[in-house]
Amino acid sequence: MSLGAATRLGRNLLLALVLVSGTIGIAAAWMQGHSLSKLREASSLLQNHSLADMMHDAVRSDVLAAIAANNPASGLTRDEVQADFAEHLDTLEKAIGEDAAFTGDAEVAAVTSQLAAPMKAYTDSARSTFDLAAKDPDAASRQLPAFFKQFRVLETSMASASDVIEKHQHETEAAGTRTGTIAEIVLTVTLLAGIAAAIRLARAVHSRIVGPIVSLSQTMRRLGEGDLSAHPEGTERGDELGEMANAMLAFRDQVAEAQRGTRAQAELIVDSLGTGLVALAAGDLTARIHADLAPPFTQLKTDFNEALDSLRTLIGSVSETTSAIQTGSNEIAQASEDLARRTEANAASLEQTAAAITQMDQRLRAIATSATRTVDRADGAISTVSGGRAVADEAVQAMTRVSDSAKGIDSVIEGLDKIAFQTRVLAMNAAVEAGRAGEAGRGFAVVADLVSALAMRAEEEAARARDQLTATQTDIVTAVQMVEKVDDALANISSDVSEVHDLLRTIATDNQAQSAAITQVSNVIGAMDQSTQQNAAMVEQTSAAARNLSTEVQSLTNQAARFQIGNRPAPSRYAPRAPARPSHASIPVAAMPAPAGDGDWASF
């Protein structure tokens, strides 16, 4: 195969390798970006559903708080509860709506679409019970079983949706990890294969073309200096360099034969060829022999000029090939730098996602802390209500003792009434006896009348005291009944506050569990972020290797540019562009050492 055909084949292979490497790099970057987008959607869906679950519990607490707010001992106000209820209800409806709008997975879309009906029934029941609590707390309490039923229906639906969403999130994480690993392996293998092929091609060009040209140049210099013992290497080759070597060999033989001829003809030959060889040694491939040489040196002139034409064509092909290699290595370096920037952008997005999940974890912890404080306040309310019930019990006991005392007083009054009646009877008997006694018993009759009048007044006062005592006993009975009602109301309040206490404790436990789950998700995102940054560091190392290859090819281009080949444009000198620095910290990359054998270029 001729050198021209070989260089064209190498150039085509290099261009094909660059095209394949670029296509694979773009495909790998797209795969990683698509996986990251899916992971962000899954994380956002899980975060939104967790928020809906919290608001689902918060609305229930708000309804119970609205009932408890009617008791001043609870420490709650209607306005505060109203504001929290409106905010939690609005957040719940928006979160459920966003769940239903998700279409990234058929199974998730199927289960979230079933949340609308139970959510509407639950919110309607919550609004009805909340509004009724302000008007008729007892009626609102009687409506709680129906409200709790709707709560459990929605809770069951949301638990099913949560299981499906968490499954989707885990599957998305696993798929993203697999995609990243595959993209990393494919990209690394492709880039390393491209770099290895380019380096091998450059070394092949050096060993097959540049080395023999240097050897022929040295042989030409020795022949130009008159050293006819120099033997050109490569005469056995069947390409252009072999033709040049054979031409030099023929030249050497003809010069030796000419020396055996006339001295003048030899001087002409040496002068003509010496001029051409000096120009050739200086790298001027446009030099030609123009002198008229006598036969048989005419063929030598023709062979020398044709050899220079072939060498000029060869050097032109080498220049074109090195330009193609230069372009390919630059494109590889550019593709590596672009991929590094995309990988760094993916790492930044993962870092933002991790920060958002960390903030959500902090908010969940704050909500759990607030729920714990609310549990403590509920404990205080229970203690206050228990103290009120104890006071009410003491009041009932005191009223009972007063009622018992009143019954004793009634017995005393009845005894006094009987004594007054008997006194009046005795006074009447005394008056009768005084009348029988005549004038002697008149004074005794007056005393009997006074005693009778006093006994009648005593009976009247006893009757008034009995009436007053009866009214007092009635009031005491009424007071006892009212105190018992207060005790019953306090018992109901204590039961409701205890139930609120249990519900708040459940909410705090659920929030802590959700916070632990979010922490696990945050750890997974952090691991993916670290892996992406490591990928970026590996891509940067590959980019550095490609830049080293570009520098090596540029050196080869500069050496080939020393030859003058006529009207053909000299290869352009390419200044390597400064590599783009990643925005995140990466592993330092050491420059690849230049391949052994650079000392061979010194002969140019």
Say if residue 334's pLDDT is above 70. Answer: yes
Q: How confident is the model at residue 499 (pLDDT cuts 50, 70, 90)?
A: confident
CB-CB neighbours of 34 under 10 Å: 13
Give 274-318 pLDDT, tens digit per residue: 777 777 677 777 777 777 766 667 777 788 788 878 877 877 777
Does the pLDDT of residue 398 top 70, yes or no? yes
Structure tokens at 473: 């006993």
Mean pLDDT of 343-356: 79
Examine the pLDDT at 568 and tell me if it is beyond 60: no
Indicate if the pLDDT at residue 157 is higher than 80: yes
pLDDT band at residue 265 under the 50/70/90 scheme: low
- 3 state DSSP class of 284: strand
**CB-count exposure of residue 590 (10 Å: 0-12, 13-18, 19+):** exposed
Other C-beta atoms closer than 10 Å to the C-beta of 265 total 14
CA distance 97 to 119: 10
pLDDT digits (tens, 9 = 90+) for 25-38: 777 677 767 666 77
Q: How far apart are the C-alpha atoms of 344 and 328, rounded to whole Å?
A: 24
Give Cβ neighbours of residue 379 (< 8 Å, ≥ 6 apart).
501
Measure Cα distances from 231 to 217, 235, 246, 308 in Å: 12, 9, 10, 18
**Could you read off the pLDDT of 197-216 as tens digits, one per residue?**
777 777 776 666 667 777 77
Please report, as a single letter, which amino acid is at residue 360. Answer: M
Pick the more confident residue, 585 or 425.
425
Q: Which of 316, 378, 330 is nearest to 61 (CA)?
A: 378
163: pLDDT strictly greater than 80:
yes
Alpha carbon distance 375, 362 (integer Å)? 20
Distance CA 487, CA 381 (A): 15
Residue-wise pLDDT for 101-156, tens only, equals 777 778 878 787 787 888 888 889 888 888 888 888 888 889 889 888 989 988 88
Give yes or no for a contact between 158 and 122, defined as CB atoms under 8 angstroms apart. Answer: no
For the chain, give the mean pLDDT.
Answer: 75
Give pLDDT tens digits for 10-59: 667 767 777 777 777 777 677 767 666 776 777 777 777 788 888 888 88
Residue 367: per-residue pLDDT: 79
Is residue 133 within 8 A of residue 63, CB to CB? The reply is: yes
Q: What's the rounded mean pLDDT across residues 171-191?
A: 76
Cα distances (Å, whole numbers) of residue 100 to 52, 104, 117, 119, 286: 12, 11, 11, 12, 79
Of 246, 252, 249, 253, the residue nearest 225 (C-alpha): 252
User: How far apart are alpha carbons 588 and 538 in whole angstroms?
Assistant: 10
How much of the chain, in percent, has pLDDT values that exceed 70?
83
